[in-house]
Amino acid sequence: MRPLKAYINLSALTFNLQLVKKIAKNSKVMAVLKANAYGHGLVQSVKAIKSADGIAILTIEEAIKIRGAGFKNTILLLEGLFTAEDIYEAEKLELNLVVHNEQQIEYLNDATLKNPINVHLKINTGMNRLGFPPDQIDYLIENLNVNPNVSGITLMTHFATADEKEGIAKQLACFNRITNNYNFSSSVANSAALYKFPEARLDWVRPGIMLYGASPFEDISAKKMDVKPVMSLISKIIALQNIKKGQAVGYGNNYIAKKDMRIGIVACGYGDGYPRHAKTGTPVFVHHKNTTTVGRVSMDMLYVDISNIADAKIGSKVEMWGNHISVDEVAKNSGTVGYELLCNISASSRVPMEYLDG
């Protein structure tokens, strides 16, 4: 059996949820489990965060699995209804719905429900992705208030730059101008806003990436945030090469040794979800020591410098990210974000997952 495996520490996920609750204080926590719980496994993750006030996902199919796992609290469909028929399944599963376009309003108007649904009205405060413009909100609220299919309204928006220098001030001010005249519950904070901006911790917070032990920020590490990594991507060295100064490693000859080197070949590549664009010097943990990758990542393999790890050999353990190497550091060296790398692992059918309770 190929040695590559992703280990999922469910206790770390539970720990991170409790940390979020501590930060959020009086806000309810809507844990975001979209994209197969950011690559960690939906059903297993539900069991680790069963104390969350709610779970946010994208599809009816995910909601069915979550209810099947025994979760009784709020489930929110972040993109709302995709078809008119979905509303009846949402009623059956007792889901909350984001409403962000006129078509979804029509679905609500045209349905005949026995049990009305809680609606989260999405306001576009500047991200320009989903949501209604501010000048339509009063009209929409007036109509939703008299819609027999609507049991309640929550007002929400999403920040475009909560993790960047610009922050949330402009979008939050827009949201507050619209919503201060109403007494509805509100939800605006993603992981970055929840951690950095207390004024964004309204009735609901929506943590995502920080639940999985990674950081939404370039300048604040997961370690500084006190979150624990949930996923560890582990493999082994499957071959050794001793190369001379001036020799190349891997495809394209884009790494030329500046000295005699000892190279470990690791069973993990971009076909498994490791980033192809990880540059030479990306950190990796080999046989209890930190080192770096060299050369271009292949589909099934990558190359690590073990020149200074004398006891490294075929079969030595290699951590691509996890307890010793932050997924955010790997992402930074690959021109991407930790979110993508975590999601890529479950997108690959080649990486078995093993779930740990501690």
Six-digit token string for 110: 């045209």
The DSSP call for residue 232 is E
d(CA 119, CA 339): 28
Q: Does residue 270 carry a catalytic annotation?
A: no
Radius of gyration, alpha carbons of the chain = 23
- Residue of 34, 228, 236, 279 with catalytic role: 34
Closest CA to 236 of 268, 271, 262, 274: 268
Q: Is 212 a catalytic residue?
A: no
Beta strands (DSSP E) in the chain are 5-9, 28-32, 54-57, 74-77, 96-99, 117-122, 150-156, 185-189, 204-205, 231-243, 261-266, 283-286, 289-294, 302-305, 317-321, 353-356
**Rounded to an integer, what is the distance from CA 4 to the centroid of its chain?**
22
Distance separating alpha carbons of residues 89 and 87, to the nearest angstrom: 5
Q: Of the residues 223, 224, 245, 251, which is catalytic?
A: 251
At 303, the amino acid letter reads Y
Which residue(s) pair with 122 in the sheet? Answer: 156
Q: Are 346 and 38 in contact (CB under 8 A)?
A: no
Number of residues that this document lists for the chain:
358
| Residues sharing a CB contact under 8 Å with residue 58, sequence separation 6 or more, in sequence order | 34, 35, 77, 78, 79
Question: Whole-angstrom Cα distance, residue 119 to residue 148?
Answer: 12
User: Which of 348, 27, 58, 35 lies closest to 212 in space, CA to CA?
Assistant: 35
15 within 8 A of 228, measured Cβ to Cβ: yes
Q: Which amino acids are annotated catalytic?
A: 34, 251
